[in-house]
Chain A
Amino acid sequence: MHADEHSHIKNEQMKVGLFIPCYIDQFYPNVGIATLQLLEKLGCHVSFPLNQTCCGQPMANSGFASLSKSCDKNFVSNFRGFDYIVGPSGSCVLHLKEHLHDEQHPGEAEHIRKHVYELTEFLVDVLKVEKLNASFPYKVGLHNSCHGQRGLHLSSMSERNLPAFSKPQQLLNMVQGLELKMPSRPDECCGFGGTFCVFEEAVSVKMGKDRIADHASNEVQYITGGDTSCLMHLEGILKRNGSKVKTIHIAEILNSNA
């Protein structure tokens, strides 16, 4: 939508603010590194505002949206003035799009809401990437994270009667040697769900186990996706059960040249 309105901006003139969600910053720095390198490879001028912390979603989804005001404020002060804000997490980006507000800077908050992109949608809709110099010679299963899919419409949804498409699949198909395998339930939730993962521990883990079994029946070597939180949950279960299947963020695949 606003992709077209900015299509005259060349990649190198784009000022992109890199949003690295708190989980990724603390536990999965490689996802952040891959995202940054990928955007730079594609010619974007990327900066990482140093005082960023969190989008506020963990509080808001637990019913404490009222507590995330200071978080919102901090986000706005870090990310004002960019043409685009890009983050490798559908869930955090959706939260910002739907809930970011700053009473003192309403215009800047609105600009951010309208120009914050999840990585794969940014690559497809704004940069209009048609080829990637990437190679990943493995059998890979794609986990469609719910907030990316149903919230940001990164792909069509099995419930709806609308034309089929998938931005992450479109990108993975550009990767040399990658054999993509979709699970039999292509868009079932993994069970992470923010604080749901601990307050509804039994259901959360059962959902994760069932997703893994679905992927495992395709004999995949990796499960990938656009949300580190889903992958962290699946990885926790895989490791506990001594599985050989690994998780990897889609940014790491798109940036790989093995």
Chain B
Amino acid sequence: MSHTSTLKHAEAAAQFINDEPRTNWHDETLWFVRQKRDKAAHGLPEWEQLREWASQIKNHTLSNLDNYLLEFERNAKANGVTVHWAMDGADHNRIIYDIIQKNNIQKIVKSKSMLTEECGLNEFLHTKGIETVDTDLGERIVQFRNEPPSHIVLPAIHLKKQDVSDTFHEHLNTEKGNNDPQYLTEAARQHLREKFIESELAITGVNFAVAETGGFVVCTNEGNADMGAHAAKIHIACMGFEKMIPKAEHLSVFLRLLARSATGQPITTYSSHFHKPREGQEMHIVIVDNGRSRQLGRADFRNSLKCIRCAACFNTCPVYRRSGGHSYHTAVAGPIGSILNPNIDMRANADLPFASTLCGSCSNVCPVKIDIHDQLWKWRQVLVAEGYVDTTKKVGLKGMAFLLARPRLYRFAGKMGRGVMRLFPWLVNNKLNPWYKQREMPAPPKQSFRDWYLQNKK
């Protein structure tokens, strides 16, 4: 899906909030998911231990990634799988297109893969005249609407039943105004079943790639990855290179954490282990870099690559819940997206690390212990140093820093401007003071604390 919106996060969020009842509904729905996650996490006495193990396994893997990737490739090849290496998104798309052309393929189904969103695979194939059918229910809904997913686990979470009903009426000819979830799901099921049966190629993502076996695991709740992979004569699995884990036994840590963190389920309905192509089938794995090795080289940000895409940080983020996924204008939204995307394109995504209050809830829910809010803070420093921050902001903060480094000047400015908060330039730097739009200013006191202290204590 194309990200046609070029609005910065703050503007897009303001538009989202314009519809306050819908914003409340979005917030409450995701908060409900966060609560389910809490219940699942608090039900396991070993929860914090599991997080620590997951973090250590991922840290170890990232530190030895070259070896594990080669081990994985060797074992996968021995299993009869073709392994491809893609430098970037364009490379990834070309590799898939080559396979399509070589086999003269017309019908493609794809289960959820945020990597293919990141690489813009659907749009790329569209320009080549090839249509891909997304088979995850939420993804199919947004695909009909020509929208990108707004959430990596719940792609259509920004939509209500009525929206789905309208969409299906238009594309699947369901009854107008019938909002019954069971009716709508059944319509999608019949529609997708047809697509599965006629498909020639199935594309899936990868949740975990196991170096010692060359196998990989795909987690879904709908079984759509399996339906696709089992019906089509070719299966292509696409993965960012950080999906690696050393051993199959490590799955016992990650599979316990993933679904609990994502939706509060003990485990996803389907955790499918793929090892080798079945008789007569072709199986490919595309391993993608697309900026990941650059991120691996950034000491402050490398451990963002531990991410297992559970979206717990989305659901807990008070900003995400009130601004919607599209306001992040990237394939991966939310707090984790805000630390991954500046690496991919610093200029285009310079607003994202500022779309946070640094409350720290994201780091607390992260099942692999990524210090997300600290990395947001660090990205802000990088973005300012690299010159990606507005001049007005820069001027205001420079003035403020100047003042606050000079005690006498600070006190003078305070006396002059206490009523209008001249001290804090971001509050009064223009006539359309954004503080005052929906908030009163603090009432100016007669004297500062220091003045009181001098009068009463000295």
Contact = CB atoms under 8 A, between A and B. Distances in A.
- Asked whether A and B interact, the reply is yes
Interface in A64-104: 64-68, 70-71, 73-74
A201 B10 contact: yes
Contacts of A159: 38, 41, 316, 361, 364-365
B393 A199 contact: yes
Given A146-B357, A236-B442, A240-B438, A53 B407 contact: yes
B381 interface: yes
B36 to A, nearest CB: 13
Interface in A154-195: 157-162, 185, 187-189, 191-195
Given A20-B449, A185-B31, A196-B357, A64 B444 contact: no
B404 A203 contact: no
Contacts of B414: 25-26
Interface string A206-238: 111010000000000000000000001101110
A193 B13 contact: no
B440 A48 contact: no
Nearest to B34: A159
Main secondary structure of the interface of B (DSSP, over half): helix
B364 A160 contact: yes
B445 to A, nearest CB: 5
Interface residues of B, number: 80
Interface residues of A, number: 76
Contacts of B423: 22, 26
Nearest to A204: B357
B381 A66 contact: yes
Contact of B440 (A25, A28, A73, A236): A236
A58 B380 CA distance: 12
A64 B452 contact: no
Contact of A58 (B360, B400, B433, B440): B400
Given A29-B447, A189-B357, A189-B359, A203 B435 contact: no
A256 B364 CA distance: 35
A198 B418 contact: no
A196 B401 CA distance: 17
Interface stretch (B105-113, B186-194, B382-390): B382-390
A73 B437 CA distance: 36
Interface in B326-353: 353
Contacts of B171: none
A200 interface: yes
A74 B410 CA distance: 12
Nearest to B394: A64
Nearest to B320: A203
A198 B359 contact: no
Contacts of A235: 440, 442
B384 A64 contact: yes
B424 interface: yes
A172 to B, nearest CB: 22
Contact of A29 (B400, B433, B452): B452
B410 A53 contact: yes
19 contacts: A20-B450, A22-B410, A25-B450, A26-B414, A32-B449, A33-B449, A48-B457, A58-B397, A62-B397, A159-B41, A161-B42, A192-B357, A197-B435, A203-B10, A203-B13, A205-B439, A207-B322, A236-B439, A240-B438
Given A50-B407, A189-B357, 13 more contacts: A28-B445, A33-B449, A146-B357, A159-B38, A161-B45, A189-B361, A196-B354, A199-B10, A199-B426, A199-B434, A203-B13, A204-B357, A210-B24
Interface of B: 9-10, 13-14, 17, 20, 23-24, 27, 31, 38, 41-42, 44-45, 47-48, 316, 318-319, 322-323, 353-361, 363-365, 377, 380-381, 383-385, 389, 393-394, 397-398, 400-401, 403-407, 410, 414, 418, 421, 423-424, 426-427, 433-435, 437-442, 444-445, 447-454, 457
Interface of A: 20, 22-33, 36, 48, 50-54, 56, 58-68, 70-71, 73-74, 146-147, 150-151, 157-162, 185, 187-189, 191-208, 210, 232-233, 235-237, 239-240
